[in-house]
Amino acid sequence: MMKIAPIVEEMGRYPDIEPILLHTGQHYDDNLSQVFLRDLNLPEPDIYLGVDSDSHARQTARVMMAFERVLLEQQPDLVLVVGDVNSTLACAVTAAKVGVPIAHVEAGLRSFDRRMPEEINRVVTDALSDLLFTTEESANENLRREGIPEEKICFVGNVMIDTLLKHRRKAMRTGILERLRLKKGEYVVLTLHRPSNVDDREAFLRIIQALEWIEAQIKIVFPAHPRTVKRVQEFGLQERFGGMSNLLLLEPLGYLDFLGLMNSSKFVLTDSGGIQEETTVLQIPCLTLREQTERPVTVTEGTNIVVGSRTERIVEESRRILNGEVKRGKVPKLWDGKAAERIVGVIRARCVLG
């Protein structure tokens, strides 16, 4: 939703574009979905497919079956997909088979780890796409190596940052710090949900051990993903989490509340891709709990450090930040809040006016 919101808004400026907003339902919660629609000023989706959580194969197949009907009924001129989730892959494959051109926002990002389902989704979607909108130069290089013609690659910047810059000031006024009795710079934000971290009990235990050291030094605020909560229960780790008295466990938060929370934190621990980008722009130190990142510009230019799941490494980098050894970064090229403007400009030039 954060990626699509600025594009939908920009398309609304042009009467020669008729956007049809489709929500597959892959990531859907009655409360959270409405919170994000409201926070981002998104209209209600024109089409909702009602696909829910399932295995990768079944979920992808269900989206494809439902989306094929939509394509045959609507006869669109272009299908625009964002990111790297199963819905991205499913809609791209379906559009390619029906013969509808595809535009992919956030194209070219690579972790080079085919064990990640998202990596498969990225590679296949890019191979099928007619317009590939990239966020950083490494993505352009990846696409060239994979044989994508230069005329299909469009370096436009990062739509996630469009959304962040538009809503940052509003996020500072949600009152989330007051509600949670927090003070700026006196807590750490944690997000954790990747299968490699929470489905692997040994990796999860290594991370927990690091968290136990960190929470003895500074408060940890943890909006917990449902997947992670489920694994805590399955692995019998409730006592370990319960024993961390300085860890504040929360339900998932809406966009504005989470942005406000992150913006005032000492640093962020995460295994999310988008948060690596957001912390770079916010100039908040970020420790990524993965072995690699598909967003290398957040490391080479931003505030991100990839630490993996080893206890010692997480503790070492956390200690450095707490001691004032903070990595200083800069905002990458074209992360200026105008990516959606560039994307829609290309679409109009290629698909509407041309």
Contact of 122 with 84, CB cutoff 8 Å = yes
Question: Is 167 a residue of the active site?
Answer: no
Catalytic residue among 56, 104, 193, 225: 193
- CA distance readout (Å), 40 to 9, 124, 197: 10, 29, 30
Residues 6+ apart with CB under 8 A from 92: 79, 81, 102, 104, 124, 125, 128, 129
Contact of 24 with 54, CB cutoff 8 Å = no
Residues 6+ apart with CB under 8 A from 248: 180, 187, 219, 220, 221, 222
Half-sphere exposure of 161 (CA within 13 A, CB side): 25
Name the phi and psi angles at 48, rounded to 5: -125, 120
* Of 104, 47, 107, residue with least CA distance to 78: 104
Q: Using CA atoms, how far apart are residues 19 and 40, in angstroms rounded to an integer?
A: 17
Active-site positions read: 193
